[in-house]
Chain A
């Protein structure tokens, strides 16, 4: 049971470079989320999606873009990385409906130098 898989696990970028983080889930979940985790700030929602082809902004969307072309995949893009985007990124997915459990990926540790 793979669950939620994030690629890559680690990455170092130079300021101004771009990259895409991939999140894949095999549970046929409707909703998917991208969070960043920073010390003292907890998990902050970047973008989320309530279904294939739809995306919405979370709390901290600036500097990021997302796409949900296939139901099982949710991509997070950084067009021009900045040191402030150094963080641990988590993807999660849930079924639609009342009080459903979120399943998380293992995280991607990104450092922008």
Chain B
């Protein structure tokens, strides 16, 4: 079955601390994985996707097929990073599945 798990509902860190938001997936095949972010009172938007291997707003995510993980990392958290983060799994034939979401709270 196709599934995405984000084990932490809330992650609270101080400004300047490293951040790691966990995402594990189950999918038989080559996964398409994404991180989406929802800032307060805004619509969800793409943060990054695994195929691009780029860094957006200082965030990176590496696909680890052996551990079936796609954790999101940032070395130094900023207050403006406070938001809800969703990990998502897609297939080219449709059915985009999201995890439960993790609220990141960055304290001053």
Contact = CB atoms under 8 A, between A and B. Distances in A.
B43 A33 contact: no
A96 B96 contact: no
Nearest to A41: B100
A50 B9 CA distance: 31
Contact of A42 (B46, B49, B95, B98): B98
B90 A94 contact: yes
Contacts, number: 66
A89 interface: no
- For chain A, give the interface size range: 20 to 34
B68 interface: no
A48 B93 CA distance: 11
Interface in A81-113: 90, 92, 94, 96-102, 104-107
Interface in B37-86: 43-46, 49-51, 86
Contact of B90 (A35, A42, A58, A99): A99
Contact of B96 (A40, A48, A105): A48
Interface string B86-108: 10101011111111110000000
